[in-house]
Amino acid sequence: MGTDNGQSTGLLSLPVELRLKIYQTYLQEIIIRIPGPQIDPNALALLCASRTIHSEVSPLVPSTITFSVWCTEHLIYFLSSLPEKTLQSLRHIALWATPFGLYEDYPARQSFRTQYSAMALACFPGLQLDTFSVRDGYHGPSVSEDAWGASATGDELEFLLLKSKGWKELRYFSPNVIFLDTWLKQKPGSVQPKDWDEALKKRDGKGSGALVKILVGREARPYHYKPRRYLRNQWEYQESLDSGSGQSNSERDGDEVEEEEEEAETHVIDPGDVDWEDVDELVPWREEDFVAYLDEVQTTDDTENKQVVVVARRGKDADIVEDGSGINSEEGMKKLLDMFNSDWRQLKRKEILVSGHRDTTSML
């Protein structure tokens, strides 16, 4: 738009520094889902406004928006598909932290080692997120909860807090504090979040500002056990898209869909039909809706159905750039890193990965 004297008005008439702040404020509200439906087509219409705006906005997209990832299998597929520069520019990821398995005896494929979701994060050097929002994969309405799941949640948290890199702020969401009670019984004398907080301060320095706290919701959020709606195998789905033959359940033969669903013993859907509430709700949350515990969380019958969030912040000068060092100490973990350093599409074709999103606790 212009004026009578030929001067431009509107967005492009503002100083570039102010325009960049406007872009960032706008992009911070956008969530891109992995896999699709990825985004409202109008959400990034700003990129099409003009060449100037496109050149200013596009570099901000990966570092400002939030990528909401359905499960660990999709996180692996997503991150492994990105150029190194784009991977290093990501800043916000929300994830349903499901386990996964890798066959270490390929090509026999007779036994696999189960890996926590956090292990996958460690396999992408250069990752340096500002926020990593994680939904507990072993507790919730779609999971057969048991003591093994409580151990897995606690162990994964400890790995993220004490060994992993790749994030400045971790937000680990679980539907209630039951996992913490069960896990602490296996570790006599442990007090949380006090012990985690002290360990992170030791890792980053006492005066660094490193912090771990546990937030318990003020309002109860009871949930009922109901089966999660599952995706078709991601590899098959992606290959169908690559070949131009991708179909939704509504487009495919009814007998075929029914046969697949009976085989999976649940409702199997394409990514385009996913109900994203569980993952997306990790992004907009308010700390004032929770009671914070800095020393020892107090669990009672009243807290059973109250959501819990473990919040951890790395120290001011902490080295957060992922380098895989957290998984180099054990032989099994070295094997994992070696496999990820291979071509991921080749590993996919060899069917080395075992997806754990259908029944997370059965993987333990």
How confident is the model over 49-85, as pLDDT tens digits?
A: 888 988 999 889 889 999 988 888 889 888 988 899 9
Distance CA 270, CA 230 (A): 8
Q: Is the peptide bond before 37 cis (omega within 30 degrees of 0)?
A: yes
Report yes or no: 190 and 158 within 8 Å, Cβ to Cβ. no
pLDDT score of 265 more than 60? no
* C-alpha distance from residue 208 to each of 79, 160, 192, 313, 322 (Å): 30, 18, 20, 10, 19
Strand arrangement of the beta sheet that strand 66-69 belongs to: 31-34, 66-69, 92-97, 129-136, 167-174, 308-313, 211-217, 290-293
Cα dihedral 132, 136, 141, 146, rounded to 10, equals: 180
**pLDDT number for residue 320:** 95
**pLDDT number for residue 251:** 46
Report yes or no: 269 and 232 within 8 Å, Cβ to Cβ. yes
How long a stretch of residues is the chain? 364
**pLDDT number for residue 228:** 44
pLDDT score of 258 more than 60? no
Give the mean model confidence (pLDDT) for residues 267-275. 42
Report yes or no: 232 and 270 within 8 Å, Cβ to Cβ. yes
Residue 328 confidence class, pLDDT cut points 50, 70, 90: low
Residue 289 confidence class, pLDDT cut points 50, 70, 90: confident
Q: What is the pLDDT of residues 139-153, one digit of tens each?
A: 876 677 777 888 889
pTM comes to 0.80
- Mean of pLDDT over the chain: 76
Give the mean model confidence (pLDDT) for residues 245-274. 43
pLDDT score of 94 more than 60? yes
pLDDT score of 182 more than 70? yes
* C-alpha distance from residue 204 to each of 149, 168, 311, 317 (Å): 29, 12, 16, 8
Distance CA 43, CA 312 (A): 31
Give the mean model confidence (pLDDT) for residues 32-54. 76
Tokens matching residue 200: 């992170």
Q: What is the pLDDT of residues 297-306, one digit of tens each?
A: 877 777 677 8
